[in-house]
Structure 1
Amino acid sequence: MTDQPNAPWWTSAVVYQVYPRSFADSTGDGIGDLVGITSHLDHLRRLGVDVVWLSPIYLSPQADNGYDISDYQAVDPVFGTLEDFDRLLAETHARGMRLVMDLVVNHSSDEHPWFVESRSSKDNPKRDWYWWRPAREPFAAGEPGAEPTNWESFFSGPSWTLDETTGEYYLHLFDRKQPDLNWENPEVRAAVHEMMRWWLDRGVDGFRMDVINLISKDPALPDGATTGAGGLGNGFPHYATGPRVHEFIQEMRREVFDGREGAFLTVGEMPGVTWEDARLFTDPARGELDMVFQFEHVSLDHGPGGKFDPKPLDLRDLKASLGRWQTALADTGWNSLYWNNHDQPRVVSRFGDDDRWWRESATALATVLHLHRGTPYVYQGEELGMTNAPFATVDDLRDVESLNHYRASVEAGQDPGEVLKALRAMGRDNARTPMQWDASANAGFGDGTPWLAVNPNHEWLNAAAQYDDPRSVFHHYRALIELRHTLPVVAVGDFTMLLADHPHVYAYERSLDGTRLLVVANLHGTEQTCEVDPVWDDADVVLTNSEQGRIEGGRVALRPWEAFVRRLS
């Protein structure tokens, strides 16, 4: 249990993620930019968030929308200039907020000078900066099955690509234009550390670290269990949370952050991480990270075929998952809390009801998440209740993962309509439609044709329509953030799950130094009842998304998607 006077600043903070390409376009080229972000900082201040996290703005060929970086110390002209970034940073700080950069160092772009040198010859000094291997015997290079391992890429197909210059294969766990850096090489680690220090010296307040638990591979590169067509296999056990990952991150902490004045935030995105792993990564005594992003709760609606084979969410599974993480990190480590990010579909469409009960479900889901113990993350537009988009055809999509999946699935004989239906539900483009500022033609995003079409519902679902509406999703998020700022019990109080077996009601208590909070939410479109301790009958209602939270003799009657918070002192 963390004592409030000694709790790190980020225990009572809320982070807001900006996806620059889709936030605001100041130039009319259809792509969001840094000047556009700066022009809307007052929206974030009005919301009350403490930290702004920028998805990548570095120089990039944009094969994966900036997560393929060709220069870590340059701003891509599509987003502006380094001077534009400095102004954004200064204006963010002037409003009392911090700014965190995205750190993408499991891989670079194949157009990064490091890789250009590495692929130029087998004896180039940077050859060992990436993972190179000859063809697998007895195959010849380029033949099916000649890849050094059978690992399947996250973006479909083999995770190895033949480079014609040297006749060897390079590893890319993601797109072929995203070759994996070889962290076994100390020169690679030193170069990354130098780059990170450069950004901190510029005034940046920390890093969100993309797939950082993949940086340590098993050097033997063994095959994975065969999982799909063409003999492709699951290499995940051989490169996720690998043998030296803790050593590498501890070294990063020492080399980049130790001895430096300032209050920084470090969060590691970690696919497949367990709570046991997370306790190690976030134990302050170990000197690694402040918190991690885990994916357990956003995998519960994945069917046997993975994320593009969705199934209905069982709320009991969600409570078991989030409750397990609350318990596991109660005395050591820290949780990050999120529904949405640039890789996830919109939560109100995914776990809520984006039709009849749009406002109620958006606010109920927000209430449940934000009052857990951990640092909440708000993804742009989530505070407005933005929804998934009605993509009509595959031509409406832009995401490399979705396009690769569609092509591979259709080639394998799947029905194109069914594949597109799954992409509409779970594709990453849902999170990337332009921010909905107002009811104008492009939702106030900018004057040019947006790179990805604006959701048609922006005519009624937009920021301008919510600012002066006290019942809006926006104002509910403001109230939740204010509770975290003002009530220590929200930031660092104990957590107790209630009604674990109720199929539709999510309820829990928070407690600290004699103050108790009760959080109850009906996450279903029908009325529900449940039982709680009668002591809550006359407790103060501190937040609700309906007229009131009704409790009589401990019996709670809940309207569809009703949520409330009560306090006892």
Structure 2
Amino acid sequence: MVDYTPHVTSPGYTNGNGLYGKEPWWKDATFYQVYPASFKDSNGDGWGDLKGVLSELDYLHDLGVDVIWLSPIFESPQEDMGYDVSDYRKVYAPYGTVEDVDSLISACHARGMKLILDLVVNHTSSQHRWFQESRSSKTNPKRDWYIWKPARYSPTGERLPPTNWRGYFASSTWTWDELTQEYYLHLYAPCQPDLNWENPACRDAIYADMQFWLDRGADGFRIDTVNKYSKHTSYADAPVTEPHSPHQPAPEMWCNGPRIHEFIGEMRARALEPYGAVSVGELSNTPLASQVLPYVSASAKQLDMVFEFSMIRLGTGGGFGAKYIHHPFPLSTLKATVAKWQSFIEGTDGWTTVFCENHDNGRAVSRFGDDSTPELWAASARTIALWQATLTGTLFLYQGQEVGMKNMPADWSIDEYKDIESGNFYREAVRSGDEKRVRDTRHGLSILARDHSRIPFQWDASPNAGFTAEGAKPWMRVHDEYRDINVAKQRGDPGSVLEFYKRVLKLRKEYKDVFIRGTFKLIDPENEAVFAYVKESERTNGVVGGTPRRALVVLNFTKEEQPCVDVAGILGCEPTQVTFLTGTVSGGESGSVAKAKGTHKPLTSWEGRVYVNFA
């Protein structure tokens, strides 16, 4: 019989949206993002589906997952992989039905797991009935549910958009509508018109659609583009920062706008709080801790958590024209960025998240690790696992991360890139006529493109990697190395990436006071080879005036041997008091507590270790 005991347990556990002791349940939870088109295809049509997710729930439970975050499954033309919703209360037919979502929710709950949905309400699809009504005439009751503006004209009479803003997908944020002779706003593609959150009736409809899924048992939402609902309604031109383009980046005009906290507070009060639903928001273009904290302060009653993107966007050329021009960065930059966002909540009532992969970025082992050889791939994937599992905050994993899935091979044709953003940026480079820009963009896409995270999940060494039936054609090409990197090959192998993830996820929960909730202190910030930090808990094992529980994490981020740090000195104890907790090269013994030996022994290639000074 399969053991379906909930992973996150402590006094006060409830099967609903209750608390674990004095802290919300979601703080200790491990979330796992499922990109359903690429996870598991149950019917052989080459497209993943809800029944495929359902068939692998026991795999996710065994991994240590508490919450599944399901990327958009709603009705959609799929021009941006479901982030263009045409009906929030229907399911895109290739994924299944509303009843399949019900079954998935029930099956998760039966295992002590939860399920959250991906909420995309900054914009809809242009095929949504709301927009179809809005564009039907200037007098339609839903006209003001979207953002419409008249044209401007040049001195020579040329029609111009209302502003010079550049969108995220390499074009103007405005598209002309011939029928009603006005422009509509879209921060993304023309097929994704922005909703007008200034309109109360529009907001009411959004909350009603959220309640539809919460009434069916969904446990909350990951909320897309959450800080873009409130635009600066002056609609002024942005400064010219890209002289070669008629369209200029203008995130200051639509991120963290004047009414954003009012809107999010209303969303929480109207749609989230009555259900005890968890919320995690996508917070882009918000680089200051002072800007982020109001979103995640418990007393502010806004969002439970947010994704702040400074770390995961390292190496990009920004969010606009040069986004896919890759910029290598030293380890010290990664360390400083991690330290900033690990420590910004200390002394506050806020909370943070931990993640290094998602559906919008290249694979972590290819960006932060070393996938050049099988040995370096495995070693660096384990070290990334140890790094993520020992950081403060709620942990989010992305499908395939736990087996070390890699970026698409660099020699694949540009035709293999299916994402709307990849295609738009590449075509923009080609149109420029600048051959160097084309080469640099192509190289950057091979490292950073969103496509890398979207290729089919690698379940086994059978044709199509077990993602879909033999003979079927997957919607995206399966990775060339699927026979070497897959779940079946790693399952049960104590030295594998998969089994290491299972061990460190358990360890993270066992020592949650240190790893999940502890403070973070960076050691030797300028060291470009070794990433070391101390995690410290307020707990002292009940000893009045005792020493706080402390752990030292030491990670070699190179393929060369590196000297280890002064373990006992950093932990502030005698060498005999140091305990080796776990390491990436300890095989089946990882996770056991044994007296440390050779704490000064050099770190081998991509080796990670954790030392503690408590029993």
Provide the TM-score with structure 2 as the length reference. Answer: 0.88
The reply to whether residue 156 of structure 1 matches residue 173 of structure 2 is no
Residues 183-202 of structure 1, C-alpha deviation per residue, up to 9 Å, x if partnerless?
01111111111111111110
**SS of aligned partner of 1:558:** coil
Tell me which of 306, 326, 340 is aligned to 1:324: 340
Letter in 1 for 2:395: P
- Mean Cα deviation higher: 113-122 or 556-565: 556-565
CA contact (8 A) 1:19 1:432 kept: yes
The reply to whether residue 270 of structure 1 matches residue 283 of structure 2 is yes
**Separation (CA, whole Å) in 1 of partners of 2:105 and 2:210:** 16
Within 5 Å, give how 1:514-529 maps onto structure 2.
514=540, 515-529=549-563
- Equivalent residue number for residue 429 of structure 1: 451
Letter in 1 for 2:531: Y
CA contact (8 A) 2:261 2:295 kept: yes
Tell me which of 33, 41, 52 is aligned to 2:68: 52
Tell me which of 363, 369, 372 is aligned to 1:352: 369
CA contact (8 A) 2:580 2:596 kept: no
Letter in 1 for 2:325: D
* 1:533 CA drift (Å): 4.2
The reply to whether residue 493 of structure 1 matches residue 518 of structure 2 is yes
The reply to whether residue 249 of structure 1 matches residue 264 of structure 2 is yes
Change (3 A) 1:565 1:248: same
The reply to whether residue 546 of structure 1 matches residue 585 of structure 2 is yes
CA contact (8 A) 1:4 1:492 kept: no
* 1:258 CA drift (Å): 2.9
- Equivalent residue number for residue 8 of structure 2: none
**Separation (CA, whole Å) in 2 of partners of 1:140 and 1:482:** 68
**Separation (CA, whole Å) in 1 of partners of 2:531 and 2:387:** 7
Residues 158-195 of structure 1, C-alpha deviation per residue, up to 9 Å, x if partnerless?
11000111111000000110000000111111111111
Identity over aligned residues, as a percent?
Answer: 43
- Equivalent residue number for residue 386 of structure 1: 405
**Separation (CA, whole Å) in 1 of partners of 2:122 and 2:423:** 23
The reply to whether residue 11 of structure 1 matches residue 50 of structure 2 is no
* 1:481 CA drift (Å): 1.2
Letter in 1 for 2:496: S
CA contact (8 A) 1:64 1:400 kept: yes
Tell me which of 411, 416, 422 is aligned to 1:396: 416
* 1:491 CA drift (Å): 2.1
Any stretches of 5+ residues in structure 1 without a counterpart? none
**Runs ≥4 residues deviating over 6 A:** 548-554
* 1:307 CA drift (Å): 3.0
Letter in 1 for 2:378: R
CA contact (8 A) 1:301 1:307 kept: no
**Separation (CA, whole Å) in 2 of partners of 1:547 and 1:249:** 46
**Separation (CA, whole Å) in 2 of partners of 1:303 and 1:532:** 37
Letter in 1 for 2:303: L
* 1:300 CA drift (Å): 2.3
- Mean Cα deviation higher: 224-233 or 212-221: 224-233
Residues 502-539 of structure 1, C-alpha deviation per residue, up to 9 Å, x if partnerless?
11111111122132211110011111114334237452
- Mean Cα deviation higher: 488-497 or 382-391: 488-497
**SS of aligned partner of 2:602:** strand
**SS of aligned partner of 1:344:** coil
- Equivalent residue number for residue 566 of structure 1: 611
- Mean Cα deviation higher: 300-309 or 312-321: 300-309
* 1:25 CA drift (Å): 0.7
* 1:553 CA drift (Å): 8.6
Tell me which of 247, 251, 258 is aligned to 2:273: 258
- Equivalent residue number for residue 458 of structure 1: 482
- Equivalent residue number for residue 557 of structure 1: 602
Letter in 1 for 2:610: V
**SS of aligned partner of 2:312:** helix
The reply to whether residue 119 of structure 1 matches residue 153 of structure 2 is no
**Separation (CA, whole Å) in 2 of partners of 1:408 and 1:259:** 46
Any stretches of 5+ residues in structure 2 without a counterpart? 1-18, 541-548
Change (3 A) 1:335 1:140: farther
CA contact (8 A) 2:418 2:451 kept: yes
CA contact (8 A) 2:556 2:606 kept: yes
* 1:542 CA drift (Å): 2.0
**Separation (CA, whole Å) in 2 of partners of 1:373 and 1:430:** 27
Within 5 Å, give how 1:73-112 maps onto structure 2.
73-112=89-128
**Separation (CA, whole Å) in 1 of partners of 2:131 and 2:155:** 26
Number of residue pairs matched? 563
**SS of aligned partner of 1:296:** coil
Letter in 2 for 1:469: D
**Separation (CA, whole Å) in 2 of partners of 1:502 and 1:551:** 24
Letter in 1 for 2:196: N
Residues 393-445 of structure 1, C-alpha deviation per residue, up to 9 Å, x if partnerless?
12111000000111111010133444322211111110000000000110000
- Equivalent residue number for residue 6 of structure 2: none
* 1:355 CA drift (Å): 2.3
Tell me which of 430, 434, 450 is aligned to 1:414: 434
Change (3 A) 1:140 1:39: farther
The reply to whether residue 293 of structure 1 matches residue 307 of structure 2 is yes
Over aligned residue pairs, what C-alpha RMSD do you find?
2.0
- Equivalent residue number for residue 236 of structure 1: 251
Tell me which of 503, 507, 510 is aligned to 1:483: 507
The reply to whether residue 307 of structure 1 matches residue 332 of structure 2 is no
* 1:328 CA drift (Å): 1.1
* 1:474 CA drift (Å): 0.8
CA contact (8 A) 1:537 1:553 kept: no
Change (3 A) 1:470 1:530: closer
* 1:5 CA drift (Å): 4.3
* 1:31 CA drift (Å): 0.5
